[in-house]
Amino acid sequence: MIRNWLFPIIIGLLAAALAWQGTLMATPYVLMSKAMEKVGGRAPVNSFGFGEPSTADNQPIVRPSPDLSYSSCAFDLSKGPVLVDVEPVPGHYWSVSVFDARTDVAAVRSDRETGGKPVKLALKRFSQRVPRDYEPVQLDYNKGLVLIRILVSDKADYPQIDAIRRKARCRVADTK
């Protein structure tokens, strides 16, 4: 009797294990896709969108910080490398993070490392060539998200911070 059920039980367990593994593997991509839709959707692909300060009525993503100013660029490297230029914000903590399609962090630069200089990153696939004056960041996927976070420790500083962050650029490199 048990022998008759053994094969279906093993197949069922294998199917469940495969489904579980599949879900685990797919989850980061699904989460990133949602984040790119919600956060990156503020602007066209390969350009920065500049989010308004987080409040109870403005929460595009879970666990937003009301003390940070968020700007984001959903990028796509299928048409060539993408260049990212970010201006420094003097006297404030700020950082630029590059997330790939699997939510892995490909690069982080903060004001501490840049020493007051602009950040110039070239997001690229293995075979793509980038301008020499940009720091190459190689990605395993075409799509991902660049996130700029700037600390707004005093709300009176926000207009000045907002003006500086809007100078950030994200664009496909002209490699012709």
Partner 1 sequence: MYFTARTDSEGAPLNGKCTYTVSGSELDARWWSITLYKGEGWLVKNAANLWSVAGNAPERDANGNWSFTVSPKKADGVWLPTGGTPQFDLTLRTYHPQGALLNNPSSAKLPTIKKELCA
| Contact set with partner 1 (CB under 8 A) | 54-57, 59, 62-67, 93, 110, 112, 151, 153
Consecutive H or E run containing 148? strand 143-151
CB of 59 to partner 1, least distance (A): 6
Q: Output 4 or 153, the one with its CB closest to partner 1.
A: 153
In order of 36, 42, 46, 52, 119, the CA distances from 60 in angstroms are: 11, 10, 19, 10, 26
- Where would I find the H helices in the chain? 2-38, 111-114, 158-165
CB of 54 to partner 1, least distance (A): 7
Number of H helices, E strands in the chain: 3, 9
Q: Output 57 or 133, the one with its CB closest to partner 1.
A: 57
CB of 148 to partner 1, least distance (A): 15
Q: Output 48 or 94, the one with its CB closest to partner 1.
A: 94
The answer to whether 64 touches 54, Cβ cutoff 8 Å, is yes
Q: Output 127 or 153, the one with its CB closest to partner 1.
A: 153
